[in-house]
Amino acid sequence: MRLTLLGTGTSMGVPQIGCGCATCRSEDPRDRRSRTAAVISSGETTLLIDTPPELRLQLLGAGIAAVDAVLYTHRHADHVHGIDDLRSVSLARGASLPLYGPRDTMEHLEHRFHYIFDERVVPVPGTSKPRLTTEAIAPDRPFRIGDLTVLPLAFEHGRETVFGYRVGQVAYVTDVKAVPAAAREALRGVEILVLNALWWREHPTHLSIPEAVETARAIGARRTILTHLTHETTHAELLARLPEGVEPGWDGMVVEV
């Protein structure tokens, strides 16, 4: 199994528009963080997690041409607004591409991007639109996509419900404020845990870096990779300050499991 981090930044990305801080001016390519997304793949199946605004560039950069399904975490703009980039993927596939996620997220996609899902909207001859289908899934109910078993887990994110996903020995959890005991138990035994960590101080809807480290220790994954990072910390600073077993992710990072 392979995990590819397509993007590891917050909703504003890094560099942030109009900012001249050290991270935004950094020449370290690991400090350039596009909006958060990932791919989990096996020998037969490729799963995309979220469709951020930079999706086309992310997939091209990672050399990923085909996707079997998309898992959505939630409906916020930085996680869904690259959905039209699935047009090329679905056309090459020759069939509709299935999208999975929380019911409110699926309903939001159908409403916000109605031109995709409304069968009455027919492309002008010679043009196209993405061919997508939505399927609402329930937390704690595993399901199969190809040769992979996906376990959705529900978390709080302010007023939103966010889904994290465990796929075999890999777990991907982003945009959460806390990981309750039941979810920690469901994540027990994962080899690789991807976990959001905003900055060093507290935030009302996201884990801070210290909270993420504490959560990682409680879950006990062999390796925890932090994502959804801001411009307040450089990659080098995080490498120097994080404890053993916890590390910052970076755009294009590939982990073999």
pTM above 0.95, yes or no: yes
pLDDT value at 255 more than 90:
yes
Which architecture characterizes domain 2-256 according to CATH? 4-Layer Sandwich (3.60)
Instruction: Please give the radius of gyration of the chain, using alpha carbons only, rounded to the nearest integer.
Output: 18
Q: How many CB atoms lie within 10 A of CB 120?
A: 6
pLDDT at position 117: 96
pLDDT tens digit string along 98-127?
A: 999 999 999 999 999 999 999 999 999 999
pLDDT at position 239: 97
Residue range 55-78: mean pLDDT, rounded = 97
pLDDT tens digit string along 121-168?
A: 999 999 999 999 999 999 999 999 999 999 999 998 888 899 999 999
pLDDT value at 49 more than 90:
yes
Domain boundaries, the chain: 2-256
For the record, the structure tokens of 236 come out as 């080098």
Q: What is the dihedral of CA 68, 88, 82, 37, to 10 degrees?
A: 40
pLDDT value at 40 more than 90:
yes
215: left (phi over 0), alpha (psi -120 to 50) or beta: alpha
Rounded CA separation 25/10 (Å): 17
pLDDT at position 24: 98
